[in-house]
A and B are shown apart, each in its own frame.
Chain A
Amino acid sequence: GAGVSQSPSNKVTEKGKDVELRCDPISGHTALYWYRQRLGQGLEFLIYFQGNSAPDKSGLPSDRFSAERTGESVSTLTIQRTQQEDSAVYLCASGATSETDTQYFGPGTRLTVL
């Protein structure tokens, strides 16, 4: 079946512009996660959605970052007034439940802020 997909695969933007990144989770997966991976580093948790519950936004680095999810489907991560330090790969993952089930990752969006 189809895995997690993300778009765009690459995004180059100018400092100060807003960007929107999209994630399509695996159908039926209620849990959705966003991570940030800077070059050569590990994965930083950003935000978690589970069904219709309030999302856990504790990993968002600043109020320039926000994310939405429509029901149990598509999610968008928005970064406003981008800064050079926002340059990273943004990975989305989905999982079947809120318990410690396998997280399936998307291919990521490589964001470059000039």
Chain B
Amino acid sequence: GENVEQHPSTLSVQEGDSAVIKCTYSDSASNYFPWYKQELGKRPQLIIDIRSNVGEKKDQRIAVTLNKTAKHFSLHITETQPEDSAVYFCAASRNDYKLSFGAGTTVTVRA
């Protein structure tokens, strides 16, 4: 089955700086890669996703890049703000319903 690894497990950045989280996956047939944000005590919420026919996708301060050859994808948050502090999860799926999640990255934005 799919194995998704996520790094780093924790990330502390100064407000205004950028944050980058990287994930690798094992199943070359995977073609859907969502990112979820989970604030403390709350439910995971989709923040951005990318499909394998696209190399990069951007939505305001967040962007995701995908390298299918290397089987890795990354989340980039620019101009970080305190409200970006949360746990971020990457996931991968091979065109079916079963998402395989990474272990999560705890992001702390220091004011």
**How many CB-defined contacts (below 8 Å) exist between A and B?**
52
Interface size on A, residues (CB 8 A): 21
With both chains docked as a complex, state the minimum distance between the C-beta of A5 and any C-beta of chain B, in angstroms: 11
Interface residues on B, range: 20 to 34
In angstroms, Cα B45 to Cα A91, docked, is 12
Report yes or no: B97 in contact with A41, Cβ–Cβ below 8 A: no
Is A43 a contact partner of B101 (Cβ separation < 8 A)?
yes
- Does A43 contact B97, Cβ atoms closer than 8 Å? no
Give the residues from 49 to 73 in chain B that come closer than 8 angstroms, CB to CB, to chain A: 49, 51
Task: Confirm or deny: A98 has a beta carbon within 8 angstroms of a beta carbon on chain B.
Answer: yes
**Contact in complex: B104, A95 (CB < 8 Å):** no
Of A20-28, A63-71, A74-82, A105-113, the stretch lying at the interface with chain B is A105-113
Q: Are A105 and B43 in contact (CB under 8 A)?
A: yes
Q: Which residues of chain B are near A106, meaning CB under 8 Å?
A: 43
Surface stretch bound by A, among B13-21, B76-84, B88-96: B88-96
A100 x B46 contact (CB < 8 A):
no
The listed residue with most A CB atoms (<10 A of its CB), out of B6, B100, B101, B102, is: B101
